[in-house]
Chains A and B, each alone.
Chain A
């Protein structure tokens, strides 16, 4: 299998001298094409920091990140921007939308940056919105959407430029479980049917279990790295089982409250 992202001796230290804090310590890891990777760990363990470094959003204090075998530190800013724009898609814990703009405007932002023509932008953004089942809301202002709809818009934005890798930082963190499942479905569908590599940061064990690989970190170090399943059919059924279990749990909770 092809390595898409490789981290070599990644160390990240925030602050200087007295306030210096090393959030990541000598991380080595390889992520292969088509994987779905969960990065799990306690709050403050360095999950987001790791993801930002892998996504080339931040520079490590020590070590390097290789993308497709190429050293990212040797890339110009321009090429780096291009790489992120064309190869990566991002879903963040918060929605990060321009709430006064329309849904369509929000989704086509990466295409605008990619200098795509107006026509092409519209076509691609609309088809991305169709995938997340929000094509009917294209003309609405982003503020008018519900939380789940907003996160789906963010997914549409993440996939609009046909990325090879999607980075998602707590994609369901802000959502109730039913809406969360919808988001999860969307992400894994892309992984299974489009061959998109998924890197998901989460502290939700149920979500982590859906991935074929779970990397656990604690205090900036990898404490375990398990590849669980490789067979996509098995994954799909596992996911549905997990979801069914969760729905059941949720219903029980509701019932209990009554």
Chain B
């Protein structure tokens, strides 16, 4: 028998017992659909993150913090509290800041340039003259030096070199602060309230120890991963906020930096990160920061792939069952084929082909339905909640991925089919023909 005939005949035989084959295909479909869909969503998310990171530029941008703090944060995120203790490691409580000594050492590292020590302070609220309401500001971020690009809906990026106080809002603040639209907010003044640490120890009410600073809105950040941090200030404003908060402190405490930014040669990032690690500083690139989001989605993908895998396992048992029934039913047919000269190898091949075809149809159905739902979802998303993010597709189908998934499922099906196919191949033509 020719291979094309074997495939055509196997396919024909499959659909001789339609219900049974279709049910098996549906079982495979459930598994393949789960895997294909979750992979496609993961591809979508990763693609989006890639685009964000790419558009952010800033290949050489590094953020540094004390390793003790970084470990603390990481263990909180990952839930993995087991970190090896090394001699002289300090705990986060003992040293939450970057020491002058560390900064001095960092400055000697070759390839690490324009280090800015950042002194962070909290902001109580943000307000504008357009409305009486004040809004909490949980996080004031920084526009660091360098070529980092932010997607802006309006205006420009706050200038890191300028001595004027400049801020880029996020879109959610534009409307609540009473601006008509993004454009309307540009050039307007907003006020930040900063609690002074020393005063607040003694002040009767909290508002008494707040100090205010005005800043000019120069831009509005487009929604995206980087905008999720909140409004961004230029260095002048960022430092001013710290000055207001730390006014009255001793010079030594005042100078403590909790974070530092720097520029590095993008090709030497890993090497420089390792050097910083030696002096107790953990450095992260933008990619590293976004990487945490990626890790989260990858973990979800793993979970869904496990679900899909379990479904496929059940489907594989379905294949075994279907084929055993088929071999049983077709004992005579097998006997006849052997009698008229079909070899055992070809019999094995034809039943294996049926198994592989079950896998093939199941995964093709999985891909077809996933694509239908996926593209529908993309269209729906762009029409509604993702209207502002035209570059983001929730699901992306990568042909290579699809192909690999089809292949894997076909291999699983083949393996499942071996036992029944072997039984068929081993049948003796005479026993098969005598079979009642």
User: Which A residues fall within an 8 A CB radius of B?
Assistant: 52, 55, 57-58, 77-78, 81-86, 90, 92, 94, 96, 98, 100-101, 109-110, 112-115, 157
With A98-B333, A112-B1 already in contact, the answer to whether A57 and B341 are too (CB < 8 A) is no
Q: Residue A113 contacts which of B16, B333, B341 (CB distance < 8 angstroms)?
A: B341
- Could you tell me the distance in whole angstroms from the C-beta of A44 to the nearest C-beta in chain B? 13
28 interchain pairs, CB-CB under 8 A: A55-B339, A57-B433, A58-B428, A58-B429, A77-B344, A81-B343, A83-B341, A84-B340, A85-B340, A86-B341, A90-B340, A92-B433, A96-B333, A96-B335, A96-B433, A98-B16, A101-B12, A109-B336, A109-B337, A109-B340, A110-B340, A112-B5, A113-B337, A113-B340, A113-B341, A113-B346, A115-B2, A115-B5
Q: Tell me the complex Cα distance, A112–B9, Å.
A: 10
Asked whether, in the complex, the Cβ of B343 is within 8 Å of the Cβ of A77, the reply is yes
Q: Which 8 A-B pairs have the closest CB atoms?
A: A85-B341, A81-B341, A110-B340, A84-B341, A58-B430, A113-B342, A96-B336, A100-B16
A81 near B342: Cβ-Cβ < 8 Å: yes
Count of chain B residues with Cβ under 8 Å from any Cβ of A? 22
Give complex CA distance A85, B63 in Å: 78
User: Which residue of A has the minimal Cβ distance to B344?
Assistant: A77
> Does B332 interact with chain A (Cβ within 8 Å)?
yes
Residues on A with beta carbons closer than 8 Å to the beta carbon of B428: 58
A191 CB, nearest partner CB in chain B, Å: 20
- In the assembled complex, which residues on chain B have CB atoms less than 8 Å from the CB atom of A86? 341
Contact A110 to B429, CB < 8 A, known contacts A96-B332, A100-B16: no
> Complex: how many Å from CA A84 to CA B343?
11
Cα-based distance from A114 to B340 in the complex (angstroms)? 9
Could you tell me the dominant secondary structure of chain B's interface residues? helix
Contact B1 A115 (CB under 8 A): yes
Interface residues of B in 1-32 (CB under 8 A from A): 1-2, 5, 9, 12, 16
Q: Is the CB of B343 within 8 A of A57?
A: no
Q: Given A100-B16, A112-B5, A115-B1, verify A57-B430 contact (CB < 8 Å).
A: yes
Instruction: Give residues 320-334 of B contacting A (CB, 8 Å).
Output: 332-333
Cα(A98)–Cα(B337), bound, Å: 11
Interface residues of B (CB under 8 A from A): 1-2, 5, 9, 12, 16, 332-333, 335-337, 339-344, 346, 428-430, 433
CA distance A114 to B1 in the complex (A): 6
CB distance from A157 to the nearest CB of B (A): 8
User: CA A96 – CA B340 in complex, angstroms?
Assistant: 12
Residues of B contacting A58 in the complex (Cβ-Cβ under 8 angstroms):
428-430
User: Shortest distance in angstroms between A11's beta carbon and chain B's nearest beta carbon?
Assistant: 16
Closest to B335 in A: A96
CA distance A83 to B339 in the complex (A): 11
- Cα A120 to Cα B59 in complex, Å, equals 67
Residues of chain B within 8 A (CB-CB) of A90 are 339-340
Q: How far apart sit A110 and B341, CA to CA, in the bound complex (Å)?
A: 7
Complex contacts, A57 vs chain B, CB 8 Å: 339, 429-430, 433
Q: Kindly list chain A residues whose C-beta atoms are within 8 Å of the C-beta of B9.
A: 112
Q: How distant is B8 from chain A, measured CB to nearest CB, in Å?
A: 9
Q: Which of B12, B16, B336 has the most A CB atoms < 10 Å from its CB?
A: B336
Expressed in whole angstroms, the Cα–Cα distance for A86 and B342 within the complex equals 11
Chain B hits for A52, CB < 8 A: 430
B332: which A residues are within 8 A, CB to CB? 94, 96
Q: Which residues of A contact B429 (CB under 8 A)?
A: 57-58
The complex places the Cα of A205 from the Cα of B74 at a distance, in Å, of 94
Nearest opposing residue in chain A for B431, CB measure: A58
Distance in angstroms from A128 CB to nearest chain B CB is 13
The residues of B that contact A114 with a CB separation of less than 8 Å are 341
Q: With both chains docked as a complex, state the minimum distance between the C-beta of A75 and any C-beta of chain B, in angstroms.
A: 12
Q: How far is the CB of A226 from chain B (nearest CB, A)?
A: 28
Residues of B within 8 A of A94 (CB): 332
Which of B16, B332, B340, B346 has most A Cβ within 10 Å?
B340
- Please determine whether B433 and A113 come into contact, CB atoms closer than 8 angstroms: no
> Nearest-CB distance from B430 to chain A (Å)?
5
Give Cα distance in the complex from A180 to B1, angstroms.
33
Please name all residues of chain A whose beta carbon is closer than 8 Å to the beta carbon of B340 when the two chains form the complex: 84-85, 90, 109-110, 113, 157
CB-CB under 8 A from B337, the residues of chain A are 109, 113
> Which residue from A78, A82, A84, A113 sits with its C-beta under 8 Å from B1?
A113
List of B residues within 8 angstroms of A96 by Cβ: 332-333, 335-336, 433
A110 to B336, CA, bound (A): 10
Residues of B within 8 A of A113 (CB): 1, 337, 340-342, 346
The smallest C-beta distance from A59 to any residue of chain B, in angstroms, reads 9
Q: How far is the CA of A100 from the CA of B346 in the complex (A)?
A: 22
Query: Is B430 a contact partner of A82 (Cβ separation < 8 A)?
Result: no
Cβ–Cβ < 8 Å partners of A115 in chain B: 1-2, 5
A-chain residues with CB within 8 Å of residue B344 when the two chains form the complex: 77
Taking CB atoms, residues of chain B closer than 8 Å to A112 are: 1, 5, 9
Chain A's closest residue to B332 (CB) is A96
In the bound assembly, the distance between CA atoms of A18 and B344 in angstroms comes to 31
- Would B343 and A78 count as touching, CB distance under 8 A? yes
A92 to B335, CA, bound (A): 12
CA distance A112 to B10 in the complex (A): 13
Nearest CB in chain B: distance from A50 CB, A: 12
B204 CB → nearest A CB, Å = 93
Q: Whose C-beta in chain A lies nearest to the C-beta of B346?
A: A113
- Chain B residues whose C-beta falls within 8 Å of the C-beta of A157 in the assembled complex: 340
Name the distance in Å between B338's Cβ and chain A's nearest Cβ.
8
